[in-house]
Amino acid sequence: MSPSHHLGLFFYSFGHYFKRMSRKIIVAVTGASGAIYAKVLLDKLSRLQSQLETVAVVMSDNAKDVWKFELNNEDYAKYPFSFYQKNDFYAPFASGSAKFDTMIVCPCSMGTLARIAGGTSSDLTTRAADVMLKERRRLILLPRETPLSLVHLRNMVAVTEAGGIICPASPSFYSLPANFEELATTVVDRALGLAGLETNGYEWGS
């Protein structure tokens, strides 16, 4: 192998490593039922820190209440991430200049979906989502609501047309999940895959 080929491989590997290390992720947790999805997402991200530079988290007041109710008062602030208040428009990711590359809203309430679809930046979550769309960066919404009204469906279409990804919190069963957390993991792994992160989760046919 020639020296120039070795050098090319080095720069390719270094560039791939740098790209992985420079990932900046926003996680927004809304007040929809399904706090277990948010918990599993934060658990997974805490184990994927070698792929990440920054994880920023914003939770609505209702999200905090639902988290405590559905997860038996488990402490959401235990994770090694930066947490921001819902109306903190001084947060770095309230501006496109901070170059956060991916935002995951998990779970995504129908109210939040509607505000994102309508371009209404009424809090940090909707402002950050608006930034992701205008900067042509990755926005992934995990709605859990069912059944869906025509209004909900039209809002999903609007977000999709604007460049967002609707990833319904619909778990799969072919991995034979043994408990609620494993069931939620089937959804979270799919969302993280859409975000371009390697989770080593179950894959069909593996």
31 marked as part of a ligand binding site? yes
34 marked as part of a ligand binding site? no
Give, as one character, the DSSP assignment of residue 1: -
23 marked as part of a ligand binding site? no
Percentages of the chain per state (helix, strand, coil), in multiples of 5: 50, 15, 35
103 marked as part of a ligand binding site? no
Q: Where are the beta strands (DSSP E) in the chain?
A: 23-29, 52-59, 82-84, 102-108, 138-143, 165-166
21 marked as part of a ligand binding site? no
Q: How many residues does the chain have?
A: 206
How many Å from the N-terminal Cα to the C-terminal Cα in the chain?
Answer: 34
Task: Quote the Cα angle for 159-185-164, to 5°.
Answer: 10
32 marked as part of a ligand binding site? yes
84 marked as part of a ligand binding site? no
33 marked as part of a ligand binding site? yes
154 marked as part of a ligand binding site? no
Annotated binding site for dimethylallyl phosphate: 174, 190
Annotated binding site for FMN: 31-33, 60, 109-112, 144
Annotated binding site: 31-33, 60, 109-112, 144, 174, 190
